[in-house]
Amino acid sequence: METVVISVIGLDCPGVVYTVAETLAQANVNIEAMTQTILQGQFASIFVATLPDGVEQARIKEQTEAAIARRNMHLTVHIHAFEQNVSDKEPEESEPFVITVTGRDRPNVIASISKILFDHAVNIESLKAMLPTPEEDACLLVFEIALPVSVDRNAFRLTLLGKGEELGLEVSIQHRDIFEALHRISTI
């Protein structure tokens, strides 16, 4: 059995996940993990799946593209072999943090903040970038990161705040547990 990564990207419409999942199930392909999102009307998904013995990636791609075409969906399918991280180094212990950035939108905001993360060997596990409304010249970024325990948290925080000040942005960093506790919605 071969493990593959299947990505499906394009114009969103109802039934995309169903179409792909149904096609894979009919080919006896097991979906092990999946994520999907919609961004400004664009659909993006990643499936990690196991192909049965003797089934070629090209065949699954053709079948998925045919099912998408039959439903007049405008999506692109890409399949490649799943790659394991084979680094000789053990992953460094880390803790989950959330960085929020708000302020005037401009092209260098994500690059500036992600450069600091790169310089400190911090992995971005999720990033959402949003414009609150199309009329506003503002942005909201939410980075979910894995902060290595070896990183000096105070120096890291000061670097982020300094970059925020330089760019005229509000930057906040919180441990994910604290962030979730503060933003938890409860029923009345």
SS3 for 75-97, per residue?
EEEEEEECCCCCCCCCCCCEEEE
Residue type, 21: A
Cα distance between residue 47 and residue 63, in whole Å: 15
Other C-beta atoms lying within 10 Å of the C-beta of residue 92: 13
Confidence of residue 188 (pLDDT cuts 50, 70, 90): low
**Maximum C-alpha span of the chain:** 57
Q: Domain 2-81's class?
A: alpha beta
Mean pLDDT of the chain: 91
Please give the model's pTM, rounded to 2 decimal places.
0.77
What local confidence, expressed as pLDDT, does residue 36 receive?
A: 93
Residue 113 has pLDDT above 70, yes or no: yes
What local confidence, expressed as pLDDT, does residue 77 receive?
A: 97
Provide the pairing of β-strand 94-104 with 30-39.
unpaired
Cα distance between residue 154 and residue 151, in whole Å: 9
Using alpha carbons, list the distances in angstroms from residue 119 to 114, 124, 146: 9, 12, 14
Confidence of residue 107 (pLDDT cuts 50, 70, 90): confident
Domain made up of 94-183: CATH architecture: 2-Layer Sandwich (3.30)
What local confidence, expressed as pLDDT, does residue 86 receive?
A: 65
Task: Give me the sheet containing 138-148, strands edge to edge.
Answer: 123-130, 138-148, 94-104, 169-175
Per residue in 68-88, pLDDT (tens digit) is 999 999 999 999 999 887 666
Higher pLDDT, 129 or 187: 129
Cα distance between residue 188 and residue 183, in whole Å: 15
Residue ranges covered by each domain of the chain: 2-81, 94-183
Same CATH fold assignment for domains 2-81 and 94-183: yes
Confidence of residue 139 (pLDDT cuts 50, 70, 90): confident
Per residue in 15-49, pLDDT (tens digit) is 999 999 999 999 999 999 999 999 889 999 999 99
Confidence of residue 50 (pLDDT cuts 50, 70, 90): very high
